[in-house]
Amino acid sequence: MTQNLESYAEVVGGDVVRHLRQLADHLQGIKVVHVNSTRYGGGVAEILARLVPLKRELGIEATWEVIEGNKDFYDVTKKFHNGLQGNRVVIPDTQLQIYEEVNSENVGRLRDKLSEADVVIIHDPQPAPLLRMVGDHRGKWIWRCHIDISRPHRPVWKYLRNFVSPYDASVWSLSWFAQNLPHPQYLIPPSIDPLSEKNRQLKRSEIQKAYEISGVEKDRPVVLQVSRFDRFKDPIGVIQAFRHAKTFLPLQLILAGGEAEDDPEGGLVLKEVRNAAEDDPDIHILNLPPDSHVEINALQRIADVIVQKSIREGFGLTVTEGMWKGKPVIGGDTGGITLQVVDHHTGFLVHTPEGAAMRMRYLLTHDSILKRMGKKARTFVLENFLLTRHLREYLTLLVALVKGADERIEL
Amino acid sequence: MQEPFIIKDCALLAIASGEKAHNLQELADRIVMVHPGCLYYHFWGGLLRPRFDDPEFRNDFASWVRHELHDEILAERLSIIIPTDYASLEQLRQELLEEIEERLDETEYSYLMRARVPFNFIRSQIVVFDTQIRVEEPRGLKDRIPDLSRSSLFYHFIDARRRVEGRHDDFSEWLSAFGDEYDELIEALSNVDPYLSGLSELRERVKRIFNRHMPG
């Protein structure tokens, strides 16, 4: 259920909501179109599902469009994704042609909406060519990159850069992702919605269901990683860490993931993970449907420690979600995780399965430290990574784009 | 009749400049050329972005030198550069450069260390808006302080120093138009160092000063 803006005041305070309304007063009636490649699954779809209704409530004519693609299209965009995160992928011209053709078909379908909008926000590489193909348009175009692109495989970035350069601005989660581009590159970290099904308070009976769906036992510690089955999330590394730590503790591991529409490799990686688990009864692999928000919420609440051992990560919303539930996070020392996991304060940053195992053992044998870190983690999210902060920065960006790009804009 | 005090608020946007430094020499080279907004962001922007309220170092240069170049001596020297001590961002830039160049002269070690994570220069863009709240007399301002948002306090108490002649905060500037009645309050406000506390703590300190000088 979509919450209205006032209900956020109870979580973040009335002044924060008032602040949003005052900024939005200067944006009344402007048309903003968001475009991405999937309606369900993955962090981008989750953020848009919450941000767009709130923008509308604030008087902005915000809409959300999804490009239509086929398996061949998602195969090539997955290669882009892997290449931008540093894998040395080879993409033949025939696949690039598919990428451009699908975008061309979509621009035919979306042209009127895109060309009439005051601001168009294109998310990630899948729909990036729309600007080049749309022709005459009246508004400003922003490319929002959610991926860790700090060390891209250069040929992939060189190709995509041609589509991204003409944008009026781009938005990145972290400064070290930003690239050499001829437009302003804004820095806006993503967020979670504290009132969504995935993050709201749960009743005891709802939390209990997590034991049923996962099969873990109540009286033994639980370590959880929630993420798509993707090699960059290193689920195999998590299993290795679990095996090290299990030698010393009666540990249980849950690997909970789902498949996003735009990720064709998910099934393959899931198979690899199942093979690596070797029918260990203490490793619980859950392939959940994309609408399992309450279930994930409950799993995060029954876990003692959250793990996100990614080797590349744009931001890692599951880290924020875990912290919001008052859990310390053992995270890979990469990308957006480093912005959230303040080493030794809200969790630990690690580089290897061995490092993750050592931190699991440490936290699970130091209960007071585990609790203190969890409390700090929740406060850190409250102050920095909730939807209201994200919305404020988007509104500020819209004001900056509409009113001019000076260093100081007085409204 | 004195003009009312207009309570404003602001939102800060961060923009990657694209300039990076991997070692101390590169840091100095980039500091010479970057937009002054970068210095503003790396000295003041920390107050409005994700971090703990009481970080080890108040400016990003000191923090990076400590954690990436592992040069504790320079980090400590940089950490005591207080931006409010300088009349302009250009003077602040010169001071920063002098400290770094002195360190480069002192030790070979500074040339050799290479950071794992480069220093990414970021500049800020500030959007200022009117909250529509007007305060007619000083006691009304006192009543408003506890409810000021952190960003509004940032605008009136910190950002003001770039806008107001004499590098005052907006409150002092406005109060000074009421004659000498509030001189002691203005003096007390001018003694607050806004650099060494987080915004929540700063609001408490400003509130206490108003209460002390305007009892009841």
Note the pLDDT of residue B56: 75
DSSP A313: -
Do A101 and A177 belong together in one domain? yes
Same domain flag for A230 and A137: no
Q: Which of B125, B174, B122, B172 is nearest to B10 (CA)?
A: B125
Q: Same domain for A260 and A175?
A: no
| Any domain includes A23 | yes
- Say if the Cβ atoms of A342 and B52 lie within 8 Å: yes
For residue A129, being part of any structural domain is answered with yes
With respect to residue A311, please indicate whether it lies within any of the assigned structural domains.
Answer: yes
Q: Is residue A100 domain-resident? A: yes
* Statement to judge: residues A259 and A292 lie in one domain: yes
The SS3 of residue A144 is strand
Return mean pLDDT, chain B: 89
Q: In sequence order, what DSSP letters do the residues of chain B get, joined into one string?
A: -PPPEEEEEEEEEEEEEEEEESSHHHHHHHHHHS-HHHHHHHHHGGGGSSS-SS-S-SSHHHHHHHHTS--HHHHHHHHT--GGGSSSHHHHHHHHHHHHHHHHHH-THHHH---SSPEEEEEEEEEEEEEEEEE-SHHHHHHHGGG--HHHHIIIIIIHHHHSTTS--HHHHHHGGGGGGGHHHHHHHHT--GGGS-HHHHHHHHHHHHHHHS--
Does A408 map to a domain?
A: no
For residue B33, the tally of other CB atoms under 10 A from its CB is: 11
Under the banding of pLDDT at 50, 70 and 90, the label for residue A360 is very high
- Note whether residue A409 is domain-resident: no
Same domain, A250 and A184: no
Q: For residue B10, which of B123, B127, B124 has the smallest C-alpha distance? A: B127
Residue A12 Cα, gap to closest chain B Cα (Å): 12
Residue A371 has pLDDT above 60, yes or no: yes
Output the CA torsion B42→A176→A332→B117 (10° steps).
Answer: -70
Q: Cα separation of A265 and B17, whole Å?
A: 35
Q: Which pLDDT score, from 0 to 100, does residue B52 have? A: 59
**What pTM value is reported for the model?**
0.88
Q: Tell me the residue length of chain B.
A: 216
Asked if A321 and A381 count as a contact pair (C-beta separation under 8 A), the reply is: no
> What's the CATH code of the domain at A152?
3.40.50.2000
Over 50: is that where the pLDDT of A1 sits? no
Backbone angles phi, psi at B125, to 5 degrees: -130, 130
Question: A235 and A139, same structural domain?
Answer: no
Q: Are residues A247 and A109 in the same domain?
A: no
CB contact under 8 A, A407 and B14: no
Residue A154 tokens read as 């250069």
Same domain, A174 and A284: no
The pLDDT value given to residue B53: 52
Count: domains in chain A: 2
Query: Would residue A410 count as lying in a domain?
Result: no
Min Cα distance A165 → chain B (Å) is 14
Same domain, A246 and A321: yes
pLDDT average, residue stretch A174-201? 92
C-beta of residue A32 within 8 angstroms of C-beta of residue A63 = yes
Same domain for A125 and A274, yes or no, is: no
- Of A242, A275, A240, A271, nearest in space to A257 by CA: A271
3-class SS of residue A200: coil
Q: Give the chain B residue whose CA is nearest to the CA of A410.
A: B128
Average pLDDT over chain A, rounded to an integer: 93
Q: A317 vs chain B: nearest CA distance in angstroms?
A: 15
pLDDT block averages, 10 residues each, chain B of length 216:
90 91 96 94 80 72 93 94 87 96 86 87 91 92 90 91 84 92 94 81 92 89
Which residues from B are below 8 Å from A when comparing CB atoms? 9, 11-16, 18, 20, 37, 49-50, 52, 117-118, 120, 122-132, 147, 149, 151
- A343 with A396, same domain: the answer is no
Q: Which chain A residues are within 8 Å of B66, Cβ to Cβ? A: none
- Distance, in Å, from the CA atom of B214 to the CA atom of B112, rounded to the nearest integer, reads 57
pLDDT of residue B50: 57
Looking at this protein, which amino acid is placed at residue A354? E
List the domain range (segments joined by +) for residue A244: 204-384
Please check whether residue A196 lies inside any domain of the structure: no
Q: How far is A324 from chain B (nearest CA, A)?
A: 15
Q: Does A46 have pLDDT greater than 80? A: yes
- Asked whether A216 and A222 are in contact (CB, 8 A), the reply is yes
One domain, residues A231 and A264: yes
- Would you call A349 helix, strand, or coil by DSSP? strand
Chain A environment of B16 (Cβ under 8 Å): 172, 175, 178, 185-187
pLDDT value, residue A192: 93
Q: Do B125 and A385 touch (CB under 8 A)?
A: no
Q: Residues A178, B120: contact at Cβ < 8 Å?
A: yes
Contacts of B49 in chain A (CB under 8 A): 384
- Torsion angles phi and psi, residue A360, rounded to 5: -60, -50
> A176 vs B130: CB contact, 8 Å cut-off?
no
Per the listing, tokens 């408003």 go with: B144
Residues from chain A that touch B11, judged by Cβ atoms under 8 A, are 19, 23, 392-393, 395-396
Does A393 contact B132 at a Cβ distance shorter than 8 Å? no
Q: Above 0.95 for ipTM, yes or no?
A: no
How close A187 comes to chain B (CA, Å)?
5
